[in-house]
């Protein structure tokens, strides 16, 4: 068993767009096991910044699902919809330091600028922002706010070590471009909210699905811009739907079947390649699973 460290803090950060399914349960369970194996705290953060995508009451449904499985947070969950003031303060800090700037580009402005430079590059169907408004709005009204990917000797290349995927690197300028902190519709961007909240909740260990690994360099860049600590990162194998893509509501993920919570935990544990655990109830099973996780020593 790893040495107990009161400072270790893990979190599960679901977006309340639907109930937990087999894929999201893997992230919930692994983040819980990892925190517990270090004798640390485990928190839940409801990521409801993208309000049009969120379903009312879904936070309660998710928390009930977690409780039925024996996964109970150590503090009342934090809701990102309540955190606008903190995100605003972070944005002010970034503006004052010259990291953040207003952008007046529409999607078609960005496509046109990329086509004109012959550099059209699709990345997850998202264009790499060509930096048009870096030096001013050129008479256009401000729409979104973006972060520079290189400033004050920080960026654009970010190297980091994932506990499962190993050494990772991304040139954020070339692969993503100056990215959005506040959207044209006024909503806070996921990258800013996650970085501000991971620091505020003193999260030391981020454990989440591999589909989110690509965001990590942007998040580390933002941490450096805001002089915030960088947690350690572990990106988990994904559960795939029948179409081979990450399991999601769109490809038919069913809510986990809570008539047999132990079976739900066991199938999440198979994805995590934990050994089979003999137990009759969730709580017994979880105690043994913490031991198995610690013994495996994912450092
Ligand atoms: N809210 C994100 C999601 O549900 C997770 C964010 C994170 O773990 O950093 O995909």
- pLDDT score, position 122: 55
> H/E element holding 32?
helix 22-37
Are the beta carbons of 105 and 140 closer than 8 angstroms? yes
- pLDDT score, position 1: 44
The C-alpha atoms of residue 282 and residue 33 are separated, in whole angstroms, by 13
Instruction: State both tokens at 17.
Output: 């767009």
The C-alpha atoms of residue 171 and residue 271 are separated, in whole angstroms, by 31
The C-alpha atoms of residue 165 and residue 78 are separated, in whole angstroms, by 29
| Residue of 194, 207, 209, 214 to test ligand 1 pocket, by largest number of atoms within 8 Å of CB | 194
Q: Is 26 in the pocket of ligand 1 (CB under 6 A)?
A: no
Question: How far apart, in Å, are the Cα atoms of 52 and each of 17, 49, 171, 185?
Answer: 9, 9, 31, 11
Are the beta carbons of 47 and 190 closer than 8 angstroms? yes
Are the beta carbons of 233 and 160 closer than 8 angstroms? yes
Question: How far apart, in Å, are the Cα atoms of 31 and each of 12, 180, 188, 220, 225?
Answer: 6, 27, 25, 19, 26
> H/E element holding 170?
strand 166-171
Q: Is 145 in the pocket of ligand 1 (CB under 6 A)?
A: no
pTM given for the model: 0.94
- pLDDT score, position 83: 98
Angle 261-246-263 from CA coordinates, rounded to 5° = 15
- Respond yes or no on whether the N-terminal peptide bond of residue 46 is cis (omega within 30° of 0): no
- pLDDT score, position 242: 81
- pLDDT score, position 111: 87
Q: Is 194 in the pocket of ligand 1 (CB under 6 A)?
A: yes
Half-sphere exposure of 115 (CA within 13 A, CB side): 6
Provide the pLDDT confidence category of residue 6 given band limits of 50, 70 and 90: low
**106: nearest Cα among 52, 136, 142, 148:** 142
- pLDDT score, position 244: 85
Q: Each residue of 166-202: pLDDT tens digit?
A: 999 999 999 999 999 999 999 999 999 999 999 999 9
């Amino acid at each position: 068993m790893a040495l107990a460290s009161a400072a270790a803090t893990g979190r599960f950060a679901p977006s309340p767009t639907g109930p937990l399914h087999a894929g999201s349960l893997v992230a919930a369970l692994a983040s819980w096991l990892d925190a517990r194996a270090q004798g640390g705290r485990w928190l839940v953060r409801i990521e409801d910044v993208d309000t049009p995508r969120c379903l009312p009451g879904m936070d309660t449904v998710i928390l009930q699902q977690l409780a039925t499985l024996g996964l109970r947070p150590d503090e009342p969950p934090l809701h990102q919809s309540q955190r606008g003031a903190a995100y605003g303060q972070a944005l002010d800090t970034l503006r004052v330091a010259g990291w953040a700037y207003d952008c007046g580009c529409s999607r078609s402005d960005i496509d046109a600028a990329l086509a004109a430079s012959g550099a059209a590059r699709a990345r997850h169907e998202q264009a790499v922002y060509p930096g048009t408004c870096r030096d001013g709005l050129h008479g256009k009204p401000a729409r979104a706010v973006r972060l520079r990917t290189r400033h004050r000797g920080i960026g654009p290349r970010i190297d980091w070590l994932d506990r499962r995927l190993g050494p990772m690197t991304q040139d954020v300028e070339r692969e993503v471009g100056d990215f959005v902190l506040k959207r044209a519709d006024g909503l806070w961007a996921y990258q800013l909210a996650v970085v501000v909240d991971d620091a505020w909740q003193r999260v030391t260990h981020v454990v989440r699905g591999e589909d989110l690994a690509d965001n990590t360099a942007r998040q580390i860049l933002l941490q450096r811009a805001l002089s915030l600590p960088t947690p350690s990162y572990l990106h988990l194998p994904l559960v795939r739907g029948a179409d081979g893509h990450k399991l999601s509501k769109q490809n038919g993920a069913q809510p986990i079947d809570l008539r047999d919570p132990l079976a739900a935990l066991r199938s999440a544990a198979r994805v995590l390649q934990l050994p089979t655990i003999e137990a009759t109830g969730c709580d017994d099973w979880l105690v043994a699973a913490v031991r198995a996780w610690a013994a495996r020593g994912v450092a």
